[in-house]
């Protein structure tokens, strides 16, 4: 390659003063025609590569922006790319999600039986229609499960799945109802777009003339129906750039099929494959250990991911006696990091399933660590948990109408109670019976047994239904732990109220690994990595295990500087202590270096002399003591107690008007 091209990647013009690209990126920019596949490892600058590819198509190749379709898989990614192109003074490229493109296609070429002004229904509307059809056809499945199966079958283009599930007749009636009312659901946008391009030659000809180049980001996540749409758009002009990473394919539950990327050459024999292997995100040791893990997969092609950064520290494995100890230790590490000048937003806690967040929410709230849950809500703010809490709240306040209506709604869904039953006093009598229970877990058991709530939830076999069921069963562990301390209902609810998610951007981020895809943080904790969660207990086939390993790989490669992988040896499950084993993926990557080295090298959490201040501890704390908190300011300790783990909790009434329940050992309260 001409060395001049390396120094000025775009060969002059508007682009000559842009950031320098590496040789692998420059090679891609030399292939502006034909079908090109870019295998882009994590942190290798794929978005920048796409940005400059689009720029060169317009400014060097002379392609009109209107003739380019760039497909992303989230609105956030589409907006980011639009902003990047705007900064380069390039406008009018069609940058959109595949669903947004499908809407524009169907507005112009409506399928048989539809008008162009069709309406798009949301999941709630689809749920209602499916629910009615389930009753009409006497199908013993939950609407959420049926909707999930319809989504999967349509994305996979697998009609046999519907026949096997006994849902073919329901699907046909569902589609007929939508068509008669000129409605489309989210999945129908794709299936109808595929149909139009396959059967309407005018539509196909229109887009073949309109679109000369197609660029697809996150190509590993395409489903068969999405691929069919893209294939029809490019098969004439034959100009396609696909960017993705088969090692980060983690959405098969939505219908994504990584084999499409791996077998692209079968449809396009002249395919050119490029690799982006220079990782700008993570240190060399972190990249090395991630490579070690993912090479255990067979559904992939080898790539030589390497870091452009320093050697760094690497990863560490930490084992704790319990989930509470795991959360407390991580909280202490974060607080020490803040003392050393780091920001809360430098830290992220990743987990396989949402319910793992519960203990971290409790501990972070008690330690006054601001946190945000990305891609979800806090454990105690989840609908199913708030319904359970409604029973506890109404015991204390008979006039709590909000809680009462939540209880009525739960009874109605679970056992079909109606207005007549209510007038007979069934619910009021049930509430009176709850008042006779002293133990929190006894109240829980009576709610579950008398309403049949668990049995009702078990009918929903969808992935969301399983998450809801897990949360409700996890709630038993919560009340069981509080009963061990003889916690009253009022104290319990106060603790829950103290557990609140912060909206501040400078906060620790908590999220599932699926949500973390595409993000990066200086310090990453991958927690709850026991064998029953990583791989997930539903992952039984070889392909499913490989996807779980890819998910673990995604988690590891979010870390820029430090990676800590941890799990508890025991956890409370359904009121009993359960012993846990480490994820097999931990054995595949090895133990790494010592945990101490991860925390104390390279100026991170180095021991520094602290100012001579006197902190409150369990030996000198007394009620009425005036203290100062680094975040909330001055206040007075109004009560002292122990939580279920025998940790000292203090309630502080701050002079600002706030009242906080804090974990003393992590609260950093200064005596004044």
- Tens-place pLDDT, residues 399-430: 888 998 888 888 888 877 554 455 456 788 88
Provide the CATH number for the domain around residue 304.
3.40.50.300
Q: Are residues 461 and 345 in the same domain?
A: no
Supply the pLDDT for residue 415: 78
Coil, strand or helix at 651: strand
Sorting pLDDT into bands at 50, 70 and 90, what band is 618?
confident
Vertex 383: Cα angle to 381 and 387 (nearest 5):
100
Q: How far apart are CA 672 and CA 668, in angstroms?
A: 13
Coil, strand or helix at 475: helix
Q: What's the predicted TM-score (pTM) here?
A: 0.87
Question: For residue 96, what are the β-bridge partners?
Answer: 71
Q: Are residues 514 and 558 in the same domain?
A: yes
Q: Phi and psi of 191, rounded to 5°?
A: -65, -40
The helix/strand count (H/E) of the chain reads as 30, 23
Q: Are residues 416 and 352 in the same domain?
A: no
Q: Could you tell me if residue 616 is inside a domain?
A: no
Report whether 42 belongs to an annotated binding site: yes
Domain count of the fold of the chain: 5
Give me the chain's average pLDDT, please: 89
Q: How far apart are CA 130 and CA 124, in angstroms?
A: 10
Report whether 45 belongs to an annotated binding site: yes
Mean pLDDT of 642-656: 80
Q: Are residues 389 and 465 in the same domain?
A: yes
Report whether 40 belongs to an annotated binding site: yes
Vertex 259: Cα angle to 540 and 352 (nearest 5):
40
Q: How far apart are CA 362 and CA 328, in angstroms?
A: 10
Tell which of 128, 151, 181 closes a domain: 181
Report whether 47 belongs to an annotated binding site: yes
CB 562 within 8 A of CB 604: yes
The one-character DSSP state at 111 is: P
Q: Could you tell me if residue 372 is inside a domain?
A: yes
Supply the pLDDT for residue 601: 43
Among 267-281, 444-458, 481-495, name the one with the lowest average pLDDT.
Answer: 481-495
pLDDT in tens, 86-103: 999 999 999 999 999 999
Tell which of 226, 244, 276 closes a domain: 276
Mean pLDDT of 632-660: 83
Supply the pLDDT for residue 112: 95
Among 114-128, 348-362, 398-412, name the one with the lowest average pLDDT.
Answer: 398-412
Supply the pLDDT for residue 591: 72
User: Could you give the percent of the chain with pLDDT greater than 90?
Assistant: 66
Q: Are residues 490 and 399 in the same domain?
A: yes
Q: Which of 446, 414, 413 is nearest to 429 (CA)?
A: 446
End-to-end Cα distance, the chain: 69
CB 71 within 8 A of CB 215: yes
Q: Could you tell me if residue 515 is inside a domain?
A: yes
What is the torsion angle, in degrees rounded to the nearest 10, for the CA atoms of residue 121, residue 124, residue 125 and residue 127? 120
Highest mean pLDDT among 33-37, 501-505, 614-618: 33-37
Supply the pLDDT for residue 252: 95
Highest mean pLDDT among 196-200, 380-384, 493-497, 572-576: 196-200
CB 440 within 8 A of CB 489: yes
Coil, strand or helix at 604: coil
Supply the pLDDT for residue 314: 83
Among 105-114, 208-217, 537-546, 615-624, name the one with the lowest average pLDDT.
Answer: 615-624
Q: Could you tell me if residue 4 is inside a domain?
A: no
Report whether 43 belongs to an annotated binding site: yes
Sorting pLDDT into bands at 50, 70 and 90, what band is 440?
very high
pLDDT in tens, 151-180: 999 999 999 999 999 999 999 999 999 999
Q: Could you tell me if residue 31 is inside a domain?
A: yes
Asked if pLDDT for residue 595 goes beyond 60, the answer is: no
Asked if pLDDT for residue 142 goes beyond 80, the answer is: yes
Q: Could you tell me if residue 46 is inside a domain?
A: yes
Mean pLDDT of 53-63: 96
CB 267 within 8 A of CB 232: no
Q: How far apart are CA 387 and CA 472, in angstroms?
A: 10
What is the b/e burial string over 651-672, where b = at least 16 CB atoms within 10 angstroms of the residue's CB?
A: bbebeeeeebbbbbbbbbbeee
Q: Are residues 151 and 299 in the same domain?
A: no
Q: Could you tell me if residue 399 is inside a domain?
A: yes
Query: Tokens at residue 295, please?
Result: 């090479």
Q: Are residues 132 and 160 in the same domain?
A: yes
Range of the domain at 659: 625-671
Asked if pLDDT for residue 1 goes beyond 60, the answer is: no
Q: Are residues 397 and 481 in the same domain?
A: yes
The position carrying tokens 């929903």 is 460
Provide the CATH number for the domain around residue 646.
2.40.50
Q: Phi and psi of 637, rounded to 5°?
A: -75, 120
Q: Which helix (H) or strand (E) holds 433?
A: helix 426-435
Mean pLDDT of 651-655: 89
What is the torsion angle, in degrees rounded to the nearest 10, for the CA atoms of residue 573, residue 574, residue 575 and residue 579? -30
Q: Are residues 195 and 125 in the same domain?
A: no
Q: How far apart are CA 499 and CA 365, in angstroms?
A: 5
Q: How far apart are CA 506 and CA 372, in angstroms?
A: 9
Q: Phi and psi of 418, rounded to 5°?
A: -125, -175
Q: How far apart are CA 142 and CA 468, in angstroms?
A: 13
Report whether 49 belongs to an annotated binding site: no
Supply the pLDDT for residue 617: 84
Supply the pLDDT for residue 645: 63
**CB burial class (10 A; 0-12, 13-18, 19+) of residue 585?**
buried
Q: How far apart are CA 484 and CA 645, in angstroms?
A: 9
Asked if pLDDT for residue 17 goes beyond 80, the answer is: no
Q: Are residues 153 and 36 in the same domain?
A: no
Coil, strand or helix at 45: coil
Q: Are residues 481 and 394 in the same domain?
A: yes
Coil, strand or helix at 350: strand
Highest mean pLDDT among 97-106, 567-576, 624-633: 97-106
Supply the pLDDT for residue 427: 80
Supply the pLDDT for residue 501: 66
Provide the CATH number for the domain around residue 450.
1.10.486.10
Tell which of 459, 483, 498 closes a domain: 498
Supply the pLDDT for residue 14: 55
CB 234 within 8 A of CB 240: yes
Torsional sign, CA 163, 165, 169, 171 = negative
Mean pLDDT of 533-541: 92
Supply the pLDDT for residue 554: 98
Supply the pLDDT for residue 594: 54
Mean pLDDT of 475-488: 87
Q: Could you tell me if residue 42 is inside a domain?
A: yes
Q: How far apart are CA 339 and CA 344, in angstroms?
A: 11
Query: Tokens at residue 64, please?
Result: 């009109």
Mean pLDDT of 395-400: 89
Q: Are residues 147 and 208 in the same domain?
A: no
pLDDT in tens, 189-240: 999 999 999 999 999 999 999 999 999 999 999 999 999 999 999 999 999 9
């Amino acid at each position: 390659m001409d060395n001049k091209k390396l120094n000025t990647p775009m060969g002059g013009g508007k682009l000559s003063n842009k950031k320098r690209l590496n040789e692998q990126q420059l090679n891609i920019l030399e292939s502006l025609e034909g079908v090109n596949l870019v295998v882009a490892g994590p942190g290798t600058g794929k978005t920048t590569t796409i940005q400059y590819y689009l720029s060169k198509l317009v400014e060097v190749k002379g392609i009109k922006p209107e003739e380019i379709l760039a497909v992303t898989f989230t609105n956030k990614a589409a907006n980011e790319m639009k902003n990047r192109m705007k900064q380069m003074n390039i406008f009018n490229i069609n940058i959109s999600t595949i669903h947004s493109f499908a809407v524009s296609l169907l507005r112009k070429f409506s399928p048989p039986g539809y008008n162009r002004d069709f309406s798009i229904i949301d999941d709630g509307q689809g749920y209602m229609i499916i629910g009615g059809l389930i009753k009409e056809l006497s199908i013993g499945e939950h609407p959420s499960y049926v909707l999930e199966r319809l989504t999967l079958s349509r994305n996979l283009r697998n009609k046999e799945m519907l026949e096997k599930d006994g849902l073919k007749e329901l699907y046909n009636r569902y589609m007929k109802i939508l068509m008669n009312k000129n409605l489309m659901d989210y999945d129908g946008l794709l299936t109808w777009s595929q149909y139009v391009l396959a059967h309407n030659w005018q539509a196909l000809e229109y887009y073949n003339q309109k679109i000369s180049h197609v660029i697809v980001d996150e190509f590993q996540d395409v489903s068969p129906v999405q691929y069919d749409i893209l294939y029809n758009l490019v098969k004439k002009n034959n100009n396609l750039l696909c960017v993705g990473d088969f090692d980060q394919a983690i959405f098969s539950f939505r219908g994504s099929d990584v084999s499409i990327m791996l077998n692209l050459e079968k449809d396009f024999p002249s395919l050119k494959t490029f690799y982006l292997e220079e990782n700008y995100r993570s240190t060399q040791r972190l990249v090395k250990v991630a490579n070690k893990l993912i090479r255990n997969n067979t559904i992939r092609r080898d790539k030589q991911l390497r870091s452009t950064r320093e050697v760094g520290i690497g990863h560490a494995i930490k084992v704790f006696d319990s989930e509470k100890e795991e959360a407390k230790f991580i909280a202490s590490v974060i607080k020490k990091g803040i003392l050393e000048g780091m920001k809360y937003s430098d830290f992220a806690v990743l987990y396989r399933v949402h319910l793992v967040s519960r203990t971290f929410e409790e501990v972070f709230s008690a330690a006054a660590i601001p946190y945000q849950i990305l891609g979800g809500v806090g454990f105690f703010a989840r609908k199913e948990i708030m319904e359970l809490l409604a029973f506890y709240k109404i015991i204390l306040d008979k006039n709590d109408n909000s809680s009462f209506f939540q209880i009525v709604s739960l009874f109605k869904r679970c056992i079909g109670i109606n207005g007549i039953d209510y007038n007979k006093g069934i619910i009021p009598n049930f509430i009176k019976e709850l008042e006779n229970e002293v133990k929190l877990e006894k109240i829980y058991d009576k709610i579950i047994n008398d309403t049949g709530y668990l049995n009702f939830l078990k009918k929903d076999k969808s992935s969301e239904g399983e998450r809801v069921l897990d949360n409700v069963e996890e709630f038993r562990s919560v009340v069981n732990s509080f009963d061990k301390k003889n916690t009253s209902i009022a104290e319990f609810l106060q603790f829950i109220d103290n557990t609140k998610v912060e909206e501040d951007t400078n906060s620790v981020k908590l999220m599932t690994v699926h949500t973390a895809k595409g993000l990066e943080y200086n310090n990453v904790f991958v927690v709850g990595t026991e064998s029953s969660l990583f791989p997930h207990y539903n992952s039984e086939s070889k392909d499913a295990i490989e996807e779980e390993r890819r998910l673990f790989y995604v988690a590891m490669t979010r870390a820029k500087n430090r990676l800590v992988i941890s799990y508890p040896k025991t956890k409370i499950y359904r009121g009993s202590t359960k012993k846990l084993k480490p994820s097999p993926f931990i054995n595949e990557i090895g133990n790494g270096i010592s945990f101490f080295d991860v925390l104390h090298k390279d100026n991170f959490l180095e021991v520094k002399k602290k100012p001579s201040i006197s902190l409150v501890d369990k030996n000198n704390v007394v009620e009425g003591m005036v203290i100062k908190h680094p975040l909330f300011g001055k206040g007075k300790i109004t009560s002292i107690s122990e939580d279920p783990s025998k940790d000292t909790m203090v309630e502080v009434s701050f002079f600002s008007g706030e009242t906080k329940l804090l974990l003393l050992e992590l609260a950093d309260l200064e005596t004044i």
